[in-house]
Amino acid sequence: MTFTRNPTGREQDLIDLFKATFTASEGAEEGALIAELVRKQLTETPADAIHVFTLEEEGSLLGACVFTRLTYAEDDRTVFVLGPVAVMPERQGQGIGQALLHQGLRVLRDAGVDVAMTYGDPNYYQKVGFQSVSEDEAPAPFKLQFPHGWLGQSLTDRPWSALKGPSSCVSALNDPVFW
């Protein structure tokens, strides 16, 4: 398996992977929504506000994840939020997702990112170091529909501490449907 940071010329492959994965797990409507989110993330986000990581085998994408910048108005730490992440349906449950996220988080740490956030199933994301945080500790850009899915981790030697908001996200995520 080959790990790649910010692959070039793979935009359509990435969109297709997310569309197929989310259509299989949550239906065609969600597949289309996430595919459009990824298209916007890849085309609208300034280069310094996005990190894309992939694992591939023999030229085919097995998994991919996207991190985009979250800006906290009263906090000078560098924060990125993970989402979405996908592993192709035929290869799920084989450790690919965790391998991808571990490697991606290591790259972010080496790049000087202070904090990673995500919004999803705590049972899954705790496997790669995320822990539940409250909206008081880390304000989200929108009121969360599922506050128990708001998760964070420090990527530095400093332990987790509250992030001072308000926060803002990149344009692709600037829609309450994602929160």
Ligand X SMILES: CC(C)(COP(=O)(O)OP(=O)(O)OC[C@H]1O[C@@H](n2cnc3c(N)ncnc32)[C@H](O)[C@@H]1OP(=O)(O)O)[C@@H](O)C(=O)NCCC(=O)NCCS
| Residue with Cβ nearer ligand X (89 or 166) | 89
CB of 114 to ligand X, least distance (A): 22
Structure tokens at 38: 């990824």
Nearer to ligand X, 29 or 121 (CB): 121
Residues that bind ligand X (CB under 6 A): 21-22, 25, 83-87, 92-98, 120-121, 123-124
Q: How far is the CB of 74 from ligand X (least distance, A)?
A: 28
Of 44, 24, 150, the residue nearest 86 (C-alpha): 24
Please check whether residue 61 is in contact with residue 123, taking contact to mean a CB–CB distance below 8 angstroms. no
Nearer to ligand X, 28 or 73 (CB): 28
Which residue sits closest to ligand X, CB atoms considered?
A: 97
Task: Give me the residues paired with residue 87 across strands.
Answer: 63
At closest approach, how far in Å is the CB of 99 from ligand X? Answer: 7
Q: Which is nearer to ligand X, 74 or 121 (CB)?
A: 121
DSSP letters, the chain, are: -EEEES-SS-HHHHHHHHHHHHHHHH-HHHHHHHHHHHHHHHHHS-GGGEEEEEEEETTEEEEEEEEEEEEETT--S-EEEEEEEEE-GGGTTSSHHHHHHHHHHHHHHHTT--EEEEES-HHHHGGGT-EE--TTTS--SS--S-GGGEEEEE-SSSPP----S-EE--GGG-SGGG-
Pick between residue 78 and residue 98 the one whose CB is nearest to ligand X. 98
Closest CB 164 distance from ligand X, rounded Å? 26
Shortest distance in whole angstroms from residue 22 CB to ligand X: 6
